[in-house]
Chain A
Amino acid sequence: MRRHLLLLVPAILACGGGDGGSAPTRNTIIDSRDTYDPRSMDPALSTDVPTGRAVAYLFDGLTRFTPDARVVPGLAKSWDISPDGLTYTFHLRNGVKFHDGRPFSAKNVIATFQRVLDPATKGGRTLPLHPIRGAEDYAAGKATTIAGLSSPNDSTVVITLKEPLAIFPKFLAMPVASIVPENPGSDFGQKPIGTGPWKFVEWRHDDYIKFAKNAEYFDGAPKSDSLMARIIPERSTATAEFESGNVDVLNVNEQESRNWEADPEKQKLLQSASALRFWYVAMNVTRGPLKDVRVRQAINHAVDVPVMLRQVMGGRGSLASGVIPPTLGGADTTRRGYAYDVAKAKQLLAQAGYPNGIDLELWSANTDASPRIAQTIQANLAQAGIRVKLVARDASSMREASRKGETDLALKEWWADYPDAENFLYPLLDSRNKGVGGNVSFWANPQFDRLIDDAHREQDEAKRNSLYTQADLIAFNDAPMLFLFFYKDLYAVQPWIKGFTVPAVFSGQRWTDVTIQK
């Protein structure tokens, strides 16, 4: 009901409305992407997108992401890897200071990681540090220090892993691994102090967060003086703010993308980039007819994904033939996905012993595009004789049900935490991640798992990517999911904004090169 009426408004906004007009008199860059209040500004609590973004402005990790998803040195200026791939020696930058003037040193790294892992911190996101030897024992209270973490001197940190993990530097670029000063107080989440390019100024809950440039930032101070992240829950409102020139960057609504692209004036403002976000339907391979690979392939053949992408998502994505986004190493861009072929789907079902079709439940969240995608899938599958009952729940209930293995089909969207094919393959499909780990297909394939293990050990990027490609092909053929599409971000950027690029990872844009040109 609500959505139906709302659809009218973007249409009016798109054809009426004012143009962005001339450059504003303000000097503050204003972002409009956050739709809800961050959980905290404390890196240890960065489990949601708005928090992760703010933490990336205020803090640094040993490494960091660039907008185009490369991993570059952060607080560590370089690192060495032992031949067995187990020990990482990080050489830290000298002379870096926290915003309050205290110097940064190796002991901050150790204290930070301990704090993240300590259950009393009540963060929740400890996984990125689990590869460190002894990290889980420390979290469980079985050890008073993290065995694999030491600092021989103030500017060196040595990390020993429990098993080789070639992509470990990417883990350290995640917001949760950002380094905090000694003894952060109990209100650290409200008054954060980091080493990052922006200093914290003010946080009005559910309203905005203000940042000021850190003129002494070690990697070059931001080119603008101040930055504001506004929190705007309704996307139509964000559009109005953009049209009024009050915000500089807008995440364009899927339903509005066509209008933006059709208008020659507005089209000039658009920037798009492949996001590391994957839409798929997890099929629980332990339930009923879904145990049969032919049924799962039939489902893949029965859904017309290109039409769905065009009609429901405004063309915002690229078709998935596997789980690796086309922009990441390991993606086989020559592989064709399952073709839309209802006759073939029926034939596969009949071969599997279901000539009269099957009944399944499709769970989806009741927000954003999910209900419409679920309805499209339901209509498509009905053509092939697969009768689907839709179950739309709030995201939390749905996640719980799929983790417990109570869903046949679950429509999911996966946001990558770090730019690597492993972040799609391992959590979503490895047998060790069944349930809460992210594999809600409950799929298990020893050959796949072995390839992932090999990839974890492989230091050579090209060889690693080839292992990813092989693993992805196994998953593609065995179809433990309905492969839908990789999302494409579409941003509108005001003409006076210079130096902005759409980040591939949500925390990858730190606004340091962005200016308002008058």
Chain B
Amino acid sequence: MFAFIVRRLALSIPTLFGVLVVVFLLLYVAPGDPVQEMVGERADAETIARLRKELKLDEPLIKQFTHYTSGVLRGDFGNSYITQRPIIQDIRERFPKTLILAGSAMLLASVLGITIGVLSARNPGGWFDRLGLGLAYLGISFPVYWVGLILILVFAVMLRWLPPSGYGGIEYLILPAFALGSRSIAFLARVTRSAMLDVLNSDYVRTARAKGLVERVVVVRHALRNALIPIITVLGLDFGYYLTGSILTETIFSWPGIGRYVVNAITRRDLPAIQGSVLFLSVVFVMVNLITDLAYAKADPRVAYS
């Protein structure tokens, strides 16, 4: 197991280096430039030239790249061109907020999604199953920003139960977590249902029932445990996606997370901020994938890593 983790981490280094190179090159060929963004609509050529020099943007690409990479290796992501704040500090401020949102969305999704899936599978074709199926289709089809705005309208503006947006206590978390998790709830419910149906029809479940186990134990201990692999796959993928891409949810709910930070950095062509956050998010993605793989082994003893 330990050797497996070490090997996987070692293998992620070339991946991350690849990310670094690609992001660097992409930003270099993309139109737009941070200096133009800094000077605004009205400027003069001399000021632009001086700023380019000050930011070392006039140096050859390879020199810029080695300079940046050596900084990253020393743990220094540099300072933002636009705000002049250290990138690391910006990420440290925002990522935990994204983590809270993504974590809550996933928690909500796993509790609700798996419950709905299990209950649907117990009586396929029944009223609950059909209701669950209908809701799942809606959940998968509605885009998150639409769900978000409807949630705000109903629960904040009309009912006044929760604040419309912002960051703070748990009351601020409920709506965005639900909006973000809605797709996963639906998806998990479907995946859990089909995995459970497979398992519930297998011989060992029939045996378990035959030997007189109560239904709850059959479903939870014998069936669900064996249906976990596809569920973990979905959870892992979605969680990685939420940690890196909850931009729309963060925008609609004015949630000060990393997604908005990246979008702002891109619109302002803030090169160090874009590079730093993309690299950081790649590391997060690699870690989530690794944890997912480890979770497989935990869930299913037949999966062994060495």
Contact = CB atoms under 8 A, between A and B. Distances in A.
A binds B: yes
A433 B269 CA distance: 24
Contacts of A39: 82-83
A9 interface: yes
A189 B157 contact: no
B54 A119 contact: yes
A438 B32 contact: no
B270 to A, nearest CB: 10
A206 B261 contact: yes
Given A2-B145, A126-B47, A244 B264 contact: no
Interface stretch (B106-114, B229-237, B246-254): B246-254
Interface stretch (B3-11, B148-156, B214-222): B148-156
Contacts of A139: 46-47, 50
A205 B85 CA distance: 11
Interface in A172-206: 189-190, 204-206
A124 B38 CA distance: 5
Contact of B268 (A233, A396, A437): A396
B84 A414 contact: no
A83 B232 CA distance: 81
Contact of A414 (B41, B81, B251): B41
Range class of the A interface residue count: 35 or more
A371 to B, nearest CB: 16
B53 interface: yes
Interface string B240-273: 0000000000011110110011001001110000
A136 interface: yes
A433 B44 CA distance: 8
Contact of A124 (B31, B39, B257): B39
Interface string A394-433: 1111011101000000000011010000000001000001
Contacts of A386: none
A307 interface: no
Range class of the B interface residue count: 35 or more
A207 B255 CA distance: 7
B165 A232 contact: yes
Contacts of A401: 31
A219 B84 CA distance: 32
A234 B252 contact: yes
Interface stretch (A11-19, A54-62, A256-264, A298-306): A11-19
B43 A122 contact: no
A206 B95 CA distance: 13
B51 interface: yes
B48 interface: yes
Contacts of A438: 41-42
Interface in A7-61: 8-9, 12-13, 16-18, 36-37, 39-40, 45, 47-48
Interface stretch (A74-82, A144-152, A235-243, A505-513): A235-243
B175 to A, nearest CB: 11
A396 B271 CA distance: 13
Interface string A221-254: 0000000001111101100110110100000000
B84 A122 contact: yes
A29 to B, nearest CB: 16
Nearest to B31: A397
A31 to B, nearest CB: 13
Given A12-B153, A122-B54, A401-B31, A437 B44 contact: yes
B78 interface: no
B31 A400 contact: yes
Contact of A231 (B33, B41, B42, B254): B254
Contacts of B269: 396
B36 to A, nearest CB: 6
B167 interface: yes
B253 A237 contact: yes
A140 interface: yes
Interface string B69-105: 0000000000001111100001001100000000000
A13 B151 CA distance: 12
Given A9-B150, A403-B36, A36 B264 contact: yes
Interface string B36-67: 11111111111110110111000000000000
B193 to A, nearest CB: 29
Contacts of B254: 206-207, 230-234, 237
Contacts of B251: 233-234
A247 B188 CA distance: 38
A122 B47 CA distance: 10
A122 B55 contact: yes
A400 B36 contact: yes
A192 to B, nearest CB: 13
Nearest to A186: B84
Contacts of A17: 153, 157-158
Contacts of B149: 6, 9, 236-237, 240
A399 B153 contact: no
B44 A436 contact: yes
Most buried by A among B55, B143, B165, B260: B165
A436 B40 CA distance: 9
Contacts of B252: 234, 236-237
B31 A396 contact: yes
A140 B44 CA distance: 13
A127 interface: yes
13 contacts: A17-B158, A18-B157, A119-B51, A122-B51, A122-B81, A206-B264, A230-B166, A231-B254, A234-B251, A240-B152, A240-B164, A244-B163, A414-B41
Given A18-B157, A396-B267, 9 more contacts: A2-B145, A47-B38, A124-B39, A139-B50, A206-B264, A233-B251, A237-B149, A396-B36, A436-B48
